[in-house]
Each structure stands twice: as C-alpha cells, then as structure tokens.
Amino acid sequence: MKIKVLLFLLSFVLCFAKTALAKQNVSFEGQIDLTSKTVNVLLQINSEGSIIAKGEKLDNQKYRFVFDFENVETPLCKLSSKVESVFELNPKPKKNQQFIEGKISSQYSLMDYKPIKDLSGKFYIKDKVLNLSSFSAGDIRLGGKIYLEYPYKMNVVFGLDSLDMNDFLNFWVKNKGYDASGSVRGEIKVSGALKKFILRGALQGYNGFIHKTEFSNIQLNINGVYPHMEIVNSFFTQGDGYSFSFDGPFNLSNRAEFLKQIKALTKSALVSDSPERREWTIKRLGDKNSQTGTTELKYLLRKNDELGSITNDEDKAIFGVEQRLEF
C-alpha cells in the first residue's frame, strides 16, 4: 500500500471539498515525495479560504494526516480549524482488502469567526465504508456511516446533550445580534447522498429566553431535503405558561432571515381534537427543577355542548393568547 493509502484518503477529502466548494473558484497545487513518503497539497479557495493537507507515513502500518482549514465556506458556516488524524492499516486475511482504524482530533476551531468546541473521535474504514464512533465536540455526539464511493451516501446521527441555547443559535443564525439562554437536547439525523441529503431533527429546549421571549419548554420537529425543511407538530411554552403549536416551511440556507422565517410560521393555541371533545392547552407550567414535569391548565369543549356556552369574552381570551408568541 505505502503511499497509496495517503493518496486514497487525500482523494476522499478532496471529493468532499469539491462538492462543498462547487460554486467557488479553487486552485490546486501540491507535491508527493516518494522517498520520504509524504504528501503536501494546497487548495486556495477564492481570495480568503484555503485548505492545506499534509500526509506522512510514520512506520510500516501507521500514517498521519494534518488538515489546516482557513475560512472555508461550507453550506452551513465559514470554518477554520486544524484537524489531525493518525490511523493504522491492518491487513485482513481476504486478498486485496484492508481494514483501517484511527483517531481524529481538532484544535483552534472557529465557526463564522467564533470559537467552538474541538472535535475528537475514533473511526475505521471497512469495505469502502467510513464508520464513526466515540465522536464528540463538547455537548455534541456524532456517530454513523459514510460510504466512500459516489454518490457518497451517509447515515449519521448528531446527539445534543444540554447544549447551550446561545451556542446552538449561533450555529444556525448568521449575525443574530441578540442574546439567548437555556439548554437544547435531542437528535439530528442526516441521511442520503452528499449532494442531496435529508435532515430529521427532534429537539427540546428548556428554561431560558430567546431575544425578549422567555420559555420553559420548546419542542421542535423538523425534516426535509436540505436546505428546504418543514417544521411539524412543534410547540412553544412561554415562561408564563402560555403554549402554542407552530409549523410551516423553513429554509436553513437563509440564515440571515432566521427571525423573519420564525415570525412567518403558522402559530395557534395547542388543541387536541376527538369525536367527543375539543381541548385547548391554555397554560403549561414546567417544574424549574425538572425538564420533564409539567402542569397544564386546559379548556375543554364537549362536542354536544351548545356553542353559545362559550362567551365572546372567552373567545377573545383564547385568540389573545395566540398573539403572545413573538421573537
């Protein structure tokens, strides 16, 4: 294998870079030293971004790669980071097949010029499939598979463990210009081909505020083909207990218009409907010391009740609640 392993992994990284940078001007230069068994490559991206890749063979079966990402524009953010990987090639009994396993870590990572938690984890490559395990970056966990042949399909899960709300919004919202607090937990699943991947997210936010709005609980369910998503079956409970459902389309690539898209979502008081009755959740009060316990105040209308039993004042109170969800 010798230098072939270095070239294989370098080619894989460059294929991903080509997809992410398809609409940008990229120049390429590099060199391979067969004597020292090293590879050095520079990708210059427009006037700001660049990727420097260096690979070397450490011993008979061990290799090392270092990638310096500088202001690299990706679909989600502008990324800067130094990423290092050391991996080992283990021969398998079957002819012409190899098993590769290793570790990866990052340093000095910036997302849109803001510091983020560095990444560390383990991986192995078997039968042209990259398997990710024990990956973490602060409160974010990562695991799954990426297929190393076109169209580069993937099945990856991001797990969030009490991620700070402000950090979460900084990732999605470009130059948001307001503060937020609280915590976020849940999962985001990524599947499909690299050029047209599917996102499915089920996230919960607890006890904080976004801009001027306090909340005790947020349930967000979102799915679609990136970047065109659909928010469904989601609700927001304000700090004073008023609860609303919300849904509608959402474009994740339009990060500068995040708040405008939130305001455009369809919002209404939480309603549960059945053949026998209709039920509105007027207030949902969570225990500040618990992220699971809630106390709900509901308004119940039985279907055989006369409509006249609901007064005009009560109607106004319910519709007044619907207007309270503002960012």
* 292 occurs within a structural domain: no
* 92 occurs within a structural domain: yes
What pTM does this model have?
0.71
pLDDT at site 6: 52
> Dihedrals φ, ψ of 43, to 5°?
-110, 115
Higher pLDDT, 201 or 7: 201
pLDDT at site 274: 54
Q: Which of 23-32, 112-121, 146-155, 188-197 has the lowest mean pLDDT?
A: 23-32
**Contact by Cβ (8 Å): 212, 240:** no
pLDDT at site 291: 47
**Given a cut of 70, is residue 230 above it in pLDDT?**
yes
pLDDT at site 311: 41
Cis amide linkage into residue 249, ω under 30° from 0: no
* 314 occurs within a structural domain: no
* 117 occurs within a structural domain: yes
pLDDT at site 321: 38
The range of the structural domain enclosing residue 18 comes to 1-128
252-274: pLDDT as tens digits: 888 778 878 888 999 887 655 55
Residue 106's nearest CA partner among 115, 119, 116, 117 is: 119
**Contact by Cβ (8 Å): 271, 278:** yes
Total tally of structural domains belonging to the chain = 1
**Given a cut of 90, is residue 297 above it in pLDDT?**
no
- Strand partners of residue 299: 280
Mean pLDDT for 294-312 is 45
What tokens does 234 get?
A: 């989601």
Percent pLDDT > 70 in the chain is 71
Nearest-angstrom CA–CA distance, 244 and 236? 5
Nearest-angstrom CA–CA distance, 166 and 22? 31
pLDDT at site 312: 44
pLDDT at site 184: 94
pLDDT at site 268: 82
pLDDT at site 222: 96
Mean pLDDT for 229-237 is 91
* 290 occurs within a structural domain: no
What tokens does 86 get?
A: 């050391």
pLDDT at site 202: 96
* 283 occurs within a structural domain: no
* 200 occurs within a structural domain: no
Mean pLDDT for 40-69 is 86
**Contact by Cβ (8 Å): 89, 5:** yes
pLDDT at site 283: 53
What is the average pLDDT score of the chain?
A: 77
**Given a cut of 60, is residue 9 above it in pLDDT?**
no
* 60 occurs within a structural domain: yes
